[in-house]
Amino acid sequence: MPAILWHLVQFPGAHGLQNWHPLVVHYPIAFLTASVPIYFLAWILRSEILEWVGLWLLGLGMAAAIVAVSTGLWASTGVMIAPSVRTHILVYHERLMLTVLALSIGLAGWALLARPMPRKGRTCFVIGLILMAVVLAKGADYGGWMVYGYNAGGSLPQPIEFSQ
């Protein structure tokens, strides 16, 4: 039994990471993205239970986004990528994800003040959620492009120059 427990607490894949960002980045993507259809269904079905689920997802997503953006900004100076990749991809990824963070803070604050979902301006709130999800998807695409296209944070020899 102790061997099984020892195996469960070992994370050999994480030992090769240059920073913590890859470990936390998926949580805000999941929580924030999931909040959009839940809030939309709550709006259509007029379900207070779904409104509360949406609020929790949005709140958890905002908290996770704070951690992901913090670890991403901390890691950005040391991540091994070519200057051309930094200029053509990383800069846009950072800007988009900072925008997502700002939107998630604003929307979560609005939802908290009008718990669990705003009554006034509800259409604008849902449009804001959709906008946040679209910007999130684009920012995540840039992040994936760096990782899978240019080995950002990986162990391949660097630099891999930007190519279209």
pLDDT along the chain (164 residues), means of 10: 80 76 95 98 97 98 98 87 89 97 98 96 97 98 91 70 72
* Structure confidence at residue 76 (pLDDT): 86
For 6, the token pair is 């020892």
* Structure confidence at residue 162 (pLDDT): 72
CA 157 – CA 80 distance, rounded (Å): 9
Residues 6+ apart with CB under 8 A from 157: none
Comparing CA positions, the residue from 39, 79, 44 lying closest to residue 61 is: 39
Residues 6+ apart with CB under 8 A from 29: 136, 140
* Structure confidence at residue 15 (pLDDT): 72
For 88, the token pair is 């053509």
